Amino acid sequence: MKAFAGLLLVSVWTSPLRGQGTTTVTADSTVHWVAPLFRNPKRALILGSVIPGAGHIYAGEYVQGFFIYEAVVGGIGVGAMAFIWDRCMLSFLSTTPCKSGPQWPHQVLGVALVGAGIWEWISSARDAPHAAERANSKHLRHRSTATPIIQPPVASHSGWRVGTEIRF
């Protein structure tokens, strides 16, 4: 048992620790603190791709997200209705026979409106990460940071300067 414990102790002592980095830190190096993102651009892209306007709403652009949703759903819905609409659609309510006429104008309008709705959805999904980046930069600008100030005396008659600096 003593031999096994000794072998275990030697193997732990000689094996490198894989959890630690191999870089060395010098005395003059600085650590840069990276602020966490207020809104994640990838999440905004995914939300905007699944639900129209959701990426903009996630980023804080509520009115634009609402109007994008209404434009996409309205364009696709009205386009589908225009595609199937004709003059005789509600002819079952009347007793007179109906002649529908040419179908192509309604179908072209329907396809154009559905295409416009899908295009709006795609372009709003592509703009959703930019909306998140705009929200992040706005958040960083509006976030106030307080840093301590400790300065030694400048002249022999003055004392230490101690306080807090607040940046806006």
Q: Give the contacts of 55 (CB within 8 A, at least 6 positions apart).
A: 44, 45, 46, 47, 48, 49, 65, 124, 125, 127, 128, 129, 131, 132
Q: What is the pLDDT of residues 88-146, one digit of tens each?
A: 777 777 777 788 788 888 899 999 999 999 999 999 999 999 999 999 988 887 766 66
Q: Give the contacts of 37 (CB within 8 A, at least 6 positions apart).
A: 132, 136
Q: 163 — phi, psi (to 5°)?
A: 180, -165
User: Could you give the 3-state DSSP secondary structure of residue 110?
Assistant: helix
pLDDT value of residue 93: 73
Q: What is the pLDDT of residues 69-85, one digit of tens each?
A: 999 999 999 999 999 88
Whether 23 shows a pLDDT value over 60: the answer reads no
